[in-house]
Amino acid sequence: MKQIIRMTALALALLLLCAGCGRGSSAPTGAGTAPVGPSEPIVLHILENDTAKAEGYLDALIAAFNEAYAGKGIQAVDANMDEYTDLALNGPYGYGPDVLYQANDQLMKYAEDRHILPLAIEELDCYESTPEAAWDAFRLSVDGSVYFCGVPVNIQEPMLFYREDMMPENWQAEWDDDQNGTADFFENWCDLYAYSASIRESDPARYGFMASLNNLYLASPFMLSYGSYIFGEKDGAVDPSDVGFSAGNAVNGLSALRQFAALMNEGCIDDTITLNRYEKLADGSYFCTVSTPDTYSLFVGNLANHYMGEGMGEDEARARAEANLKMIELPAKMPADGDLSQDSAGAQWVDTVVMGGVNGYGISSYTKHREACMEFVDFATGYEMIQTRVEMLGIAPTRQDVAQVSGDTADMIFDSLASGRICLMPSVKAVDQIWTPTQTVMGDVAKDPFRAAQGEPQKYGTTEALQAALETIDKNVYDAIHTLAG
Amino acid sequence: MDLLFLRAARTRSAPVRASLCVMGLGQMMCRQWVKGLLYLAALGAFLAYLVIMGGADIAGFFTLGTHEADPWLGTAGDDSILMLLRGLLAFGIIIAVILLYRSNLRDILELDRNIKAGLTPPPFVKSLRSFFDRKFYVAALALPIAGVIVFNVVPIVFMILIAFTNYGGNNVPPALVDWVGLENFGRILALTEIKDTFFRILIWNVIWALSSTFLNYFGGLGLALLLNKKCVKGRRFWRMFPILAYAVPGFITLLAFKFLFSYGGPINYYLTQAGRNAVGFLDIDAGIKARLIGLGVNAWTSIPTSMLLATGILSNMREDLYEAASIDGASKWQQFLKITLPFVVFSTTPVLITNFIGNFNNFGVFYFLRGGLYMDGYFLASDTDLLINWLYNLSIDNNYYSIGAAVSLIIFIITSVISLSVYVRSNAYRKEDTFR
Chain B, residues 116-145, CB within 8 A of chain A, namely: none
- Do B192 and B103 reside in the same domain of the chain? no
- Is the Cβ–Cβ distance between A432 and A481 less than 8 Å? no
For B124-142, write each residue's pLDDT tens digit: 888 888 888 888 888 889 8
Q: Is B74 a domain residue?
A: yes
- Do B126 and B247 reside in the same domain of the chain? no
**Closest Cβ–Cβ partner in A18, A436, A450 for B45:** A18
Q: Is B115 on the interface with A (CB under 8 A)?
A: no
Count of CA atoms in the C-beta half-sphere (13 A) of A391: 10
pLDDT (tens digit, 0 to 9) for every residue of chain A, 486 residues total?
444 445 444 444 444 433 433 333 333 333 444 444 456 789 999 999 888 888 899 999 999 999 999 889 999 999 998 877 888 888 888 888 999 999 998 899 899 889 999 999 999 999 999 988 899 999 998 888 899 999 999 988 999 999 999 999 889 999 998 899 999 999 999 999 999 999 999 999 999 999 999 999 999 999 999 999 999 988 778 899 999 999 999 999 999 999 999 999 999 998 889 999 999 999 999 999 999 887 888 899 999 999 999 999 999 999 999 999 999 999 999 999 999 999 998 899 999 999 999 999 999 999 999 999 999 999 999 999 999 998 888 788 899 899 888 766 777 787 888 788 899 899 888 898 899 999 999 999 999 999 888 888 999 999 999 999 999 999 999 988 887 765
SS3 label, residue A42: strand
- Do B386 and B301 reside in the same domain of the chain? yes
- Is the Cβ–Cβ distance between B206 and B214 less than 8 Å? no
List C-alpha distances in Å: A441 to A216, A256, A475, B65. Answer: 10, 14, 12, 42
For position A1, what pLDDT does the model report?
Answer: 45
Distance separating alpha carbons of residues A422 and A217, to the nearest angstrom: 11
- Do B135 and B226 reside in the same domain of the chain? no
- Do B60 and B165 reside in the same domain of the chain? yes
Task: Give the count of beta carbons closer than 10 Å to the beta carbon of residue B90.
Answer: 21
Range of the domain at B69: 3-181
Q: Is B436 a domain residue?
A: no
Q: Is B302 a domain residue?
A: yes
- Do B177 and B288 reside in the same domain of the chain? no
Q: Is B224 a domain residue?
A: yes
Q: Do A440 and B70 touch (CB under 8 A)?
A: no
- Domain end, chosen from B165, B181, B197, is at B181
* Chain A environment of B191 (Cβ under 8 Å): 483
Q: Do B264 and A272 touch (CB under 8 A)?
A: yes
Phi-psi region of A424 (alpha: psi -120 to 50; beta: other; left: phi over 0): beta
Distance separating alpha carbons of residues B228 and B395, to the nearest angstrom: 46
Q: Where are the alpha helices (DSSP H) in A269-382?
A: 272-282, 296-309, 314-324, 370-380
Distance separating alpha carbons of residues B338 and B328, to the nearest angstrom: 13
Q: Is B122 a domain residue?
A: yes
Interface test with chain B among A3, A7, A93, A271, by most B beta carbons within 10 Å: A7
* Chain A environment of B24 (Cβ under 8 Å): 11
- Is the Cβ–Cβ distance between B310 and B220 less than 8 Å? yes
- Do B137 and B284 reside in the same domain of the chain? no
Ranges in chain B, pLDDT < 70: 1, 428, 431-436
Distance separating alpha carbons of residues B17 and A212, to the nearest angstrom: 80
Q: Do B71 and A23 touch (CB under 8 A)?
A: no
Cis, peptide link before residue A240, omega less than 30° from 0: no
- Do B208 and B166 reside in the same domain of the chain? no
Residue type, B137: Y
Q: Is B2 on the interface with A (CB under 8 A)?
A: no
Q: Is B104 on the interface with A (CB under 8 A)?
A: no
- Is the Cβ–Cβ distance between A104 and A359 less than 8 Å? yes
Q: Do B47 and A15 touch (CB under 8 A)?
A: yes
Q: Is B250 on the interface with A (CB under 8 A)?
A: no
Helix axes B154-162, B401-425, angle to 10 degrees: 130
The whole-angstrom distance between B91's CA and the closest CA on chain A is 20
Interface test with chain B among A12, A14, A18, A444, by most B beta carbons within 10 Å: A18
Strands A286-291 and A159-163: what pairing?
Answer: antiparallel
Task: Give the count of beta carbons closer than 10 Å to the beta carbon of residue A362.
Answer: 28
**Closest Cβ–Cβ partner in A114, A267, A476 for B72:** A114
Q: Do B47 and A270 touch (CB under 8 A)?
A: no
CA-based nearest residue in chain A for residue B53? A24
Contacts of A357 (CB under 8 A, 6+ apart): A103, A104, A105, A137, A155, A156, A157, A424, A425
- Is the Cβ–Cβ distance between A119 and A150 less than 8 Å? yes
List C-alpha distances in Å: B173 to A91, A110, A114, A115. Answer: 11, 12, 10, 10
Q: Do B263 and A269 touch (CB under 8 A)?
A: yes
For position B433, what pLDDT does the model report?
Answer: 61
Q: Where are the alpha helices (DSSP H) in A137-175?
A: 171-174
Distance separating alpha carbons of residues A402 and A387, to the nearest angstrom: 6
CB under 8 A, 24+ apart: contacts of A139-147: A139/A427, A140/A108, A140/A111, A140/A112, A140/A427, A141/A235, A141/A236, A141/A237, A146/A236, A147/A111, A147/A118
Chain B, residues 403-422, CB within 8 A of chain A, namely: 403
Please provide the distance, in angstroms rounded to a whole number, between the alpha carbons at the two ends of chain A: 63
Interface test with chain A among B72, B268, B403, by most A beta carbons within 10 Å: B72
- Do B387 and B361 reside in the same domain of the chain? yes
- Domain end, chosen from B137, B163, B181, is at B181
Count of CA atoms in the C-beta half-sphere (13 A) of A375: 19
List C-alpha distances in Å: B426 to A200, B50, B355. Answer: 64, 48, 15
- Do B419 and B334 reside in the same domain of the chain? yes
> DSSP strand E in A135-285: where?
139-142, 145-148, 151-156, 159-163, 207-210, 231-234, 237-243
Please give the torsion angle defined by the CA atoms of residues B84, B87, B93 and B99, in that order, rounded to the nearest 10 degrees. -100
The whole-angstrom distance between A420's CA and the closest CA on chain B is 30
- Do B254 and B158 reside in the same domain of the chain? no
Q: Do B263 and A267 touch (CB under 8 A)?
A: yes
The full DSSP string for B365-407 is HHHHHH-S---TTSSS--TT--HHHHHHIIIIIS--HHHHHHH
- Domain end, chosen from B181, B211, B230, is at B181
The full DSSP string for A383-452 is HHHHHHHHHHH--EES-HHHHHHH-HHHHHHHHHHHTT-EEEPPSSGGGGGSHHHHHHHHHHHHHHHHHH
Residue type, B425: R
Tally of structural domains, chain B: 2
The whole-angstrom distance between A199's CA and the closest CA on chain B is 19
For position A39, what pLDDT does the model report?
Answer: 62
Of A469, A308, A213, A162, the residue nearest B376 (C-alpha): A469
Q: Is B154 on the interface with A (CB under 8 A)?
A: no
- Do B227 and B194 reside in the same domain of the chain? yes
Interface test with chain A among B194, B380, B397, B403, by most A beta carbons within 10 Å: B380
Q: What CATH number corresponds to the domain at position B280? A: 1.10.3720.10
> DSSP strand E in A196-332: where?
207-210, 231-234, 237-243, 286-291, 325-329
Host H or E run for residue A112: helix A104-112
Task: Give the count of beta carbons closer than 10 Å to the beta carbon of residue A374.
Answer: 20
CA-based nearest residue in chain A for residue B183? A486
Host H or E run for residue A468: helix A463-478
Phi-psi region of B432 (alpha: psi -120 to 50; beta: other; left: phi over 0): alpha
Host H or E run for residue B26: helix B25-29
Q: Do A11 and B375 touch (CB under 8 A)?
A: no
Q: How open is the CA angle B77-B79-B84, to the nearest 5 degrees?
A: 145
Question: What is the interface size between A and B, counted as CB pairs within 8 Å?
Answer: 163
Distance separating alpha carbons of residues A419 and A319, to the nearest angstrom: 35
Q: Do A11 and B187 touch (CB under 8 A)?
A: no
Distance separating alpha carbons of residues A304 and A310, to the nearest angstrom: 10
Q: Do B71 and A453 touch (CB under 8 A)?
A: no
Contacts of A35 (CB under 8 A, 6+ apart): none
Residue type, A281: L
B212 Cα distance to chain centroid: 20
Distance separating alpha carbons of residues B75 and B430, to the nearest angstrom: 61
CA-based nearest residue in chain B for residue A274? B264
Q: Is B164 a domain residue?
A: yes
Distance separating alpha carbons of residues B54 and A23, to the nearest angstrom: 12
**Closest Cβ–Cβ partner in B41, B193, B376 for A14:** B41
Whole-prediction pTM value? 0.78
Distance separating alpha carbons of residues A413 and A159, to the nearest angstrom: 10
Q: Is B174 on the interface with A (CB under 8 A)?
A: yes
Q: Is B435 a domain residue?
A: no
Distance separating alpha carbons of residues A233 and B367, to the nearest angstrom: 35
The whole-angstrom distance between B119's CA and the closest CA on chain A is 21
Distance separating alpha carbons of residues A403 and A399, to the nearest angstrom: 6
For position B251, what pLDDT does the model report?
Answer: 86
Q: How open is the CA angle A216-A218-A223, to the nearest 5 degrees?
A: 45
Query: In terms of C-beta density within 10 A (0-12 exposed, 13-18 middle, 19 or more buried), how is residue B351 classed?
Result: middle
- Is the Cβ–Cβ distance between A232 and A239 less than 8 Å? yes
SS3 label, residue B147: helix
Beta bridge partners of B75: B70
The whole-angstrom distance between B74's CA and the closest CA on chain A is 5
Contacts of A421 (CB under 8 A, 6+ apart): A332, A351, A352, A353, A354
**Closest Cβ–Cβ partner in B72, B170, B175 for A365:** B72
Q: Is B295 a domain residue?
A: yes
Of A446, A427, A458, A297, the residue nearest B263 (C-alpha): A446
